[in-house]
Chain A
Amino acid sequence: MSLKSPIPAGESPTNAETSELGQFEVQYLCRRIFGVEPSSATIRRYAQFHEIYGTSLLTEKQVDVALLVDRNLDAEAIEFFLRTRQRKNTLTSKIWACAYFLEVQAVEDAASVPRLKPQKDNSAVTVILMLGWLSLRTAVKWVKGGIAVYRYNLA
Chain B
Amino acid sequence: MNYDSDVIIVGSGPAGAAAALQLAEKTKPLVLDVGITGAHKASDQSYVTETLGTELEGLSHITGQYLTPKLRSPLFRYVTGRWRELSPIRSQNFRGELSLAMGGFANAWGSGLYEFNDEDLRGFPIRPADLQPYYKRLTEHIGISGGDKLFGDPLVPDGSLLPPAPLSGPSKILYQRSRDPRASVSLDRKGIHIGRQRLGILTRPHRGRAQYVFDGRDFFRPSKESIYHPGYTIRELQQCNKIDFKTGLLVKRFEELAEGIVVHALELETGAEVAFSTRALLIGTGAINTARIVLESFQEYTVKLPLLENPVSFVPFIELSALGSTLDRSSFTGAQLAVIFDGTQHPDRVQGSFYNLSGVLESDFFLDFPFTTRGNRYCLANILGAMGVLQLFYSDAPGPAGHLSLAPDGNLNVHCEQRRYGAVERLLIKSFCALGFWSFPFLVRYGEPGGSFHYAGTLPMSHRETMSGLATDPMGRLQRTRMVFAIDASTFPLLPAKNLSLTIMANAMRIAAQVPI
A binds B: yes
Given contacts A34-B377, A48-B56, A96-B363, contact A128 B47 (CB under 8 A): no
Given contacts A117-B326, A130-B382, A138-B371, contact A103 B62 (CB under 8 A): no
- CB–CB A76/B62 < 8 A: no
Cα separation A90 to B56 with both chains bound (whole Å): 17
Cα separation A97 to B364 with both chains bound (whole Å): 10
Chain B 47-80 interface 0/1 with A at a Cβ cutoff of 8 Å (1 = within): 1100110011011101110000000000000000
Residue A70 lies at the interface, judged by CB distance under 8 Å to chain B = no
Residue A3 lies at the interface, judged by CB distance under 8 Å to chain B = no
Within 46-89 of A, Cβ neighbours of B (below 8 Å) are at: 48-49, 52-53, 56-57, 59-60, 76-77, 79-80, 83, 87-88
Given contacts A80-B372, A118-B381, contact A45 B56 (CB under 8 A): yes
Given contacts A53-B63, A99-B366, contact A77 B382 (CB under 8 A): no
- CB–CB A103/B324 < 8 A: no
Return chain A residues, CB-CB under 8 Å to B184.
Answer: none
Residue A104 lies at the interface, judged by CB distance under 8 Å to chain B = yes
Closest to A122 in B: B324
Cα separation A93 to B326 with both chains bound (whole Å): 27
Return chain A residues, CB-CB under 8 Å to B327.
Answer: 117
Closest to A141 in B: B372
Chain A 121-135 interface 0/1 with B at a Cβ cutoff of 8 Å (1 = within): 111101110110011
Cα separation A53 to B57 with both chains bound (whole Å): 10
- CB–CB B375/A137 < 8 A: yes
Candidate in B55, B58, B326 with the most chain A CB atoms within 10 angstroms: B326
Given contacts A33-B373, A104-B47, A108-B48, contact A96 B382 (CB under 8 A): no
Given contacts A96-B366, A100-B361, A117-B326, contact A138 B375 (CB under 8 A): yes
- CB–CB A121/B326 < 8 A: yes
Residue B227 lies at the interface, judged by CB distance under 8 Å to chain A = no
Kindly provide the distance from the CB of A147 to the nearest chain B CB, expressed in whole angstroms.
15
Chain B 316-333 interface 0/1 with A at a Cβ cutoff of 8 Å (1 = within): 000011111111000000
| Chain A: interface size category | 35 or more
Residue A92 lies at the interface, judged by CB distance under 8 Å to chain B = yes
Kindly provide the distance from the CB of B183 to the nearest chain A CB, expressed in whole angstroms.
21
Return chain A residues, CB-CB under 8 Å to B62.
Answer: 53, 93, 96-97
Residue A155 lies at the interface, judged by CB distance under 8 Å to chain B = no
Cα separation A138 to B62 with both chains bound (whole Å): 23
Chain B 6-45 interface 0/1 with A at a Cβ cutoff of 8 Å (1 = within): 0000000000000000000000000000000000000000
The tally of residues in B whose CB lies under 8 Å from a CB in A reads 38
Residue B397 lies at the interface, judged by CB distance under 8 Å to chain A = no
- CB–CB A60/B63 < 8 A: yes
Residue A116 lies at the interface, judged by CB distance under 8 Å to chain B = yes
- CB–CB A127/B324 < 8 A: yes
Residue A148 lies at the interface, judged by CB distance under 8 Å to chain B = no
Kindly provide the distance from the CB of A112 to the nearest chain B CB, expressed in whole angstroms.
16
Cα separation A45 to B382 with both chains bound (whole Å): 27
Closest to B48 in A: A104
Residue A154 lies at the interface, judged by CB distance under 8 Å to chain B = no
Given contacts A97-B62, A116-B380, A130-B382, contact A79 B373 (CB under 8 A): yes
- CB–CB A134/B377 < 8 A: no
Given contacts A53-B63, A96-B367, A130-B382, contact A124 B375 (CB under 8 A): no
Closest to B54 in A: A48
- CB–CB A134/B375 < 8 A: yes
Residue A95 lies at the interface, judged by CB distance under 8 Å to chain B = yes
Return chain A residues, CB-CB under 8 Å to B321.
Answer: 124
Given contacts A56-B64, A121-B326, contact A100 B381 (CB under 8 A): no
- CB–CB A122/B56 < 8 A: no
Kindly provide the distance from the CB of A120 to the nearest chain B CB, expressed in whole angstroms.
8
Closest to B61 in A: A96
Contact of A108 among B47, B55, B63 (CB under 8 A): B47
- CB–CB A57/B367 < 8 A: no
Cα separation A124 to B370 with both chains bound (whole Å): 19
Kindly provide the distance from the CB of A21 to the nearest chain B CB, expressed in whole angstroms.
19
Return chain B residues, CB-CB under 8 Å to A131.
Answer: 379
Cα separation A116 to B366 with both chains bound (whole Å): 11
Kindly provide the distance from the CB of B123 to the nearest chain A CB, expressed in whole angstroms.
42
Return chain A residues, CB-CB under 8 Å to B55.
Answer: 52
Cα separation A93 to B59 with both chains bound (whole Å): 10
Residue B362 lies at the interface, judged by CB distance under 8 Å to chain A = yes
Kindly provide the distance from the CB of B413 to the nearest chain A CB, expressed in whole angstroms.
26
Return chain A residues, CB-CB under 8 Å to B51.
Answer: 104
Chain B 83-125 interface 0/1 with A at a Cβ cutoff of 8 Å (1 = within): 0000000000000000000000000000000000000000000
Cα separation A104 to B55 with both chains bound (whole Å): 15
- CB–CB B59/A33 < 8 A: no
Candidate in A97, A100, A118, A124 with the most chain B CB atoms within 10 angstroms: A100
Return chain A residues, CB-CB under 8 Å to B381.
Answer: 116-118
Cα separation A126 to B326 with both chains bound (whole Å): 14
Closest to A80 in B: B372
Return chain B residues, CB-CB under 8 Å to A100.
Answer: 52, 58-59, 361, 363
Binding site for B on A (CB under 8 A): 33-34, 41, 45, 48-49, 52-53, 56-57, 59-60, 76-77, 79-80, 83, 87-88, 92-93, 95-97, 99-101, 103-104, 107-108, 116-118, 121-124, 126-128, 130-131, 134-135, 137-138, 141
Q: Known pairs A56-B64, A116-B380, A134-B372; list 5 more (Cβ under 8 Å).
A: A88-B63, A97-B59, A99-B363, A99-B373, A137-B375
**24 A–B contact pairs at CB < 8 A?**
A33-B374, A41-B48, A45-B48, A45-B52, A45-B56, A53-B56, A53-B59, A76-B373, A80-B371, A83-B367, A97-B59, A103-B361, A108-B48, A117-B327, A117-B362, A117-B380, A118-B382, A122-B324, A124-B321, A124-B322, A126-B324, A127-B324, A130-B382, A138-B371
Query: Which 3 pairs between the two chains have the least Cβ-Cβ distance?
Result: A122-B324, A56-B63, A124-B323
